């Protein structure tokens, strides 16, 4: 049995040679990429399927309002944050008072269920709840404020 030149075994003992091999094997695997190593500069954490820009459609049937806009989301440890904007869309009923919406988004995700508040501005804080589609490219659900309610859908 060969010994590393810098490792000497005590007479009648093989412990240092075994110890040296036990330390060298993981180091060799790390160098060759068989074991994960420390994060390198430029490595980014995996992105959530919610992260990024979503086109959104919000409808309030009682008033005939429809809004089209965009929300930018970021998910970290099941917490959702971001910003959103929406303007009255072409399907809004003539004469309906549909104000522009803009504000922050904060909420949570549990499995495929998303819940978030959208600080809309004129309508106050709206509570949105919905489901993320299995493919991850669509969400839809319902929303409500103290005085209004409706449906929403978002897609990539």
Q: What is the CATH number for 132? A: 2.40.128.120
d(CA 107, CA 87): 22
Per the domain annotation, does 70 fall within a domain? yes
Per the domain annotation, does 61 fall within a domain? yes
User: What end-to-end distance do the CA atoms of the chain give, in Å?
Assistant: 62
Per the domain annotation, does 27 fall within a domain? no
pLDDT-based confidence at 122, cuts 50/70/90? confident
Closest CA to 27 of 40, 18, 41, 37: 37
Secondary structure (3-state) at 122: coil
| Global pTM exceeds 0.85 | no
Per the domain annotation, does 30 fall within a domain? no
d(CA 59, CA 68): 9
**Domain with 77 in it:** 52-155
- Tell me how many domains the chain contains: 1
Residue 25 above 80 pLDDT? no
Per the domain annotation, does 19 fall within a domain? no
Q: What is the pLDDT of residues 74-117, one digit of tens each?
A: 999 999 999 999 999 999 998 888 999 999 999 999 999 999 99
Q: What is the pLDDT of residues 132-145, one digit of tens each?
A: 999 889 999 999 99
């Amino acid at each position: 049995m060969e010994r590393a030149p810098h490792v000497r075994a005590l007479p009648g003992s093989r412990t240092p040679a075994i110890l040296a091999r036990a330390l060298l094997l993981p180091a060799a695997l790390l160098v060759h990429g068989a074991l994960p190593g420390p994060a390198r500069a430029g490595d980014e954490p995996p992105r959530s399927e919610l992260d990024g820009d979503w086109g959104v459609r919000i409808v309030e049937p009682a008033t005939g309002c429809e809004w089209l806009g965009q929300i930018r989301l970021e998910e970290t440890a099941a917490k959702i944050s971001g910003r959103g904007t929406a303007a009255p869309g072409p399907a809004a009923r003539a004469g309906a008072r549909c104000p522009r919406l803009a504000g922050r988004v904060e909420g949570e995700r549990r499995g495929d269920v998303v819940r978030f508040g959208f600080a809309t501005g004129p309508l106050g804080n709206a509570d949105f709840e919905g489901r993320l589609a299995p493919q991850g490219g669509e969400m839809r659900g319902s929303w409500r404020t103290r005085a209004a309610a409706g449906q929403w859908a978002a897609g990539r």
